[in-house]
Structure 1
Amino acid sequence: MASCQSSQVVFSKRGEEYKSAREIAAEKRAARKSGKSRERIASTSKDRTSRTRVRNLDKDVATVIQTARSYTGVPYRWGGTTRVGMDCSGLLCTSFQSIDATLPRTSEEQSRYGDEVKPKDLREGDLVFFGENKRNITHVGMVTEVVSREEVRFIHASTSLGVMENNLYSDYYKKLFIKAVRPPVF
């Protein structure tokens, strides 16, 4: 299984200069120190209607979310942590590396990393866990946007569609939801 600490080559889009998540994060930290960056992050939700929401987020949370979103469309690959392919826990490990935080590698281990959060108290950066039964966590995602009590967006690596965002309260994810955790890095 690939490790979060992997130093494998990551491929960029055609014609785009490659930058690792760490390089992007380092540039952002340097820009913040020089006063050039904003504490706002714009996120686009692509459901039936497209809308843009601008939220004031903690800088680290915003960096982790932006890094995770940069992997949108990357295909699913068990044990993957690169743009060639990612699994759900690998996506989060790689995204948290952008703020120099190390998450455990598997979704089961990540479910024990931090304090449990009630669904009504979810906020951006929280980890959400899924499985077929309450004793067997098999999937993880990260909250990217809390729109309302009926819409909480989270990013994850779907086995069929790759890295994407979905609503936690859709019928499918509602029945698989097990718990949420706030990682101690924020």
Structure 2
Amino acid sequence: MKKSILLIICIICFSNCKSSKRSKKQSTTSSQTSEIKSAEETSSEYKISSKEVIEDKEKKVEKKKKKSPKSQADHIVAFAKQFEGTRYKWGGTTKSGMDCSGLVFESFRDSDILLPRISRDMAKKGTKIPLKKVNTGDLLFFKTGGRRNSINHVGLIVAIRDNDIEFIHSTSSRGVIISHLNEKYWLNAFEEARRIL
């Protein structure tokens, strides 16, 4: 009888040991599975974030490409504006004196764009465009005074506001100033607009 009781106790102990081993195995397996799943999720999240980073970089490059002509125009305009108030000097290209074509020539040259030095020769470069399509950085050409048979004056468009085109240029009477194309004198003298950029 003692032997049978002892045998029953041993059987119960062994069965308990097996069940605890099974539960340990199951918990270990389930934790390993959850670790694998979380690793897979993390790697897929990483893949998504890497893809997003690459796409974001590509978008930035595209934006730079789209902006480059505009920012180049902005740079040229900003360079020209620093000469505002400079006195007129025929053939001048510095702050001590500047003529109209000198102002445009130096402003474009600062952006590594070489134009002819004389306004009538500048008018042969780039593409002729209608006034309604002009942008900042485009050039306006004029026939002024008694020399209306050929282009002899150039200005650089700095802004377009309310159907009025503002341009910077150097005049013999007032030096480097910003004028409006809507002013009667400039509108009458206007010949053509051209795009260099």
TM-score calculated relative to the size of structure 1: 0.66
CA distance 1:167–1:117, change in 2 (3 Å): same
Q: Any idea what the Cα deviations from partners look like across 1:134-163, whole Å, max 9, x if unmatched?
A: 6411100011101122x1100000110000
Inter-partner Cα distance in structure 2 for 1:138 and 1:101? 21
% same residue: 34
Cα offset, 1:100, TM superposition: 1.0
Report deviation, 1:59: 1.2
The aligned residue for residue 125 of structure 1 is 137
Q: Distance in 1 between matches of 2:128 and 2:162?
A: 20
State the shift of 1:86 in Å: 0.3
Larger Rg: 2
Aligned length: 129
Partner of 1:113: 125
Structure 1 spans left out of the alignment, 5+ residues: 1-38, 40-56
1:80 is aligned to 2:131: no
1:156 and 2:153 equivalent?
Answer: no
**Structure 1 outlier segments of 4+, above 6 Å:** none
Q: Which residue of 1 aligns with 2:18?
A: none
Are 1:172 and 2:185 matched, yes or no? yes
Structure 2 counterpart of 1:139: 153
Q: 2:108 aligns with which of 77, 83, 96?
A: 96
Which residue of 69, 73, 77 corresponds with 1:65? 77
CA contact (8 A) 1:134 1:178 kept: no
- What is the Cα deviation at residue 180 of structure 1? 0.7
Q: Which residue of 2 aligns with 1:20?
A: none
**Conserved 8 A contact 1:131-1:176:** yes
SS at match of 2:194: strand
Contact 1:88-1:156 at 8 Å conserved across structures? yes
User: For the residues of structure 1 that align with 2:161 and 2:129, how far apart are their CA atoms?
Assistant: 17
Q: Does the Cα contact within 8 Å between 1:128 and 1:143 map onto a contact in 2?
A: yes
Q: CA RMSD in A?
A: 1.8
